Amino acid sequence: MLMFAVIVASSGLLLMIERGILSEMKPLPLHPPSHKGAAWRGTAPKPGGLSLDAGDSDFQVREDVRNRTLRAVCGQPGMPRDPWDLPVGQRRTLLRHILVSDRYRFLYCYVPKVACSNWKRVLKVLAGVLDNVDVRLKMDHRSDLVFLADLRPEEIRYRLQHYFKFLFVRDPLERLLSAYRNKFGEIREYQQRYGAEIVRRYRAGAGPSPAGDDVTFPEFLRYLVDEDPEHMNEHWMPVYHLCQPCAVHYDFVGSYERLEADANQVLEWVRAPPHVRFPARQAWYRPASPESLHYHLCNAPRALLQDVLPKYILDFSLFAYPLPNVTREAWPDTSVVLKHMFDLKTDSRPLAAGSVQFTWSIVT
């Protein structure tokens, strides 16, 4: 089991995270990205280049912090350099989440609850399986798709070296809330498989055979506290474990918050045909919003949040998302605030692949 922590890449990252905890994130710009496009580790941008709106300073700051943090953290001794540095279980998870387009020479690491169904639809259109992205069919998440796990080691290595690689990320807690609402509010299979077990474990007097269709958000968080991140269901497994951004040198990390713009830029980079576009969000779809997340967090015990957040601390830090606001304004009945403190000390033992260390404390 990996130890979780964050190695601070720069004073700018620490400043951003602290401001994200104590107030709304409004960091000063560090410096504009020196690259065109958001490729990190000095990867050359693909044709088209990412053009940013002049006023989109928050996006530029986040990309700059994200790129520098990925370089710094992944450059630490003991961090994986490719998938074969990973333990077998972690490598299996990674390879099962990277989709392959040989025709357009790209790899996409899919993250559930970050528009992955629409990306799979795009891949099927590019492969000629679907006529267009608007075809109304129930998504089959396996058929007509090629995963890195389907290929031989030498084929995997070639594609990792020569193909354009990307993933999309989302605020970790918004992603958790989206998974909670979808899986326990709509999907009977998840209610029976996970919901019933959660209710039995964490609800007094639940009885031996609960339906599992009324799991509360705090009960879901308690379940996550007791789960090993490496063995979680993919819908709430941390992105770090799904996509291993140190073992795979992604050329682009897109954001759910800029989904349409970032997705269409990727399609330009891979030279997709002009008629292939990223699907528009359905009118009926209501994503988890900052307001709904705030409501659920305010109704969850603060001690529970303190225990859950370390499971996702690498997702917050590597992908430049602020930790949730838990100030007095958010919980008027308390003077205690969460603050994340970093311990850069490492012990004398070699770091396990992907491991880093942290401390977590309460400041009164």
Give residue 102's pLDDT band: very low, low, confident or very high (50, 70, 90). Answer: very high
In angstroms, the CA 319 to CA 170 distance is 8
Best-predicted range by mean pLDDT among 8-17, 218-227, 295-304, 340-349? 218-227
Tell me what pLDDT residue 167 has: 97
CA of residue 71 relative to chain centroid, distance? 17
In angstroms, the CA 20 to CA 103 distance is 42
pLDDT digits (tens, 9 = 90+) for 117-149: 999 999 999 999 888 877 766 666 677 899 999
Please say if the pLDDT value at position 154 is more than 90: yes
pLDDT digits (tens, 9 = 90+) for 229-263: 999 999 999 999 999 999 999 999 999 999 999 99
Tell me what pLDDT residue 35 has: 34
Please say if the pLDDT value at position 55 is more than 70: no
Give residue 207's pLDDT band: very low, low, confident or very high (50, 70, 90). Answer: confident
pLDDT digits (tens, 9 = 90+) for 179-188: 999 999 989 9
Instruction: Indicate the helix (H) or strand (E) that contains 313.
Output: helix 313-318
For the entire predicted model, the pTM comes to 0.77
CA of residue 92 relative to chain centroid, distance? 18
Which amino acid belongs to residue 102? Answer: D
Q: How many residues can be counted in the chain? A: 364
Give residue 61's pLDDT band: very low, low, confident or very high (50, 70, 90). Answer: confident
Contact 235, 179 (CB under 8 A): yes
In angstroms, the CA 160 to CA 148 distance is 9
Please say if the pLDDT value at position 312 is more than 90: yes
Instruction: Indicate the helix (H) or strand (E) that contains 296.
Output: helix 290-298
Q: Write down the residue that tokens 């030279």 correspond to.
A: 271
Contact partners, residue 213, CB within 8 Å, separation at least 6: 184, 188, 191, 195
Give residue 284's pLDDT band: very low, low, confident or very high (50, 70, 90). Answer: low
Q: Please give the share of the chain, as a percent, with pLDDT higher than 70.
A: 71
The residue with greater pLDDT, 18 or 187, is 187
pLDDT digits (tens, 9 = 90+) for 77-101: 999 999 999 999 999 999 999 999 9
The residue with greater pLDDT, 139 or 329, is 139
The residue with greater pLDDT, 341 or 354, is 354
Contact 52, 63 (CB under 8 A): no
CA of residue 311 relative to chain centroid, distance? 12
Tell me what pLDDT residue 64 has: 85
Q: Write down the residue that tokens 């967090």 correspond to.
A: 297
- Closest among 36, 32, 50, 45 to 264, alpha carbons compared: 50
Q: What is the mean pLDDT of residues 303-328?
A: 86
User: What are the sequence ranges of the domains in the chain?
Assistant: 57-333
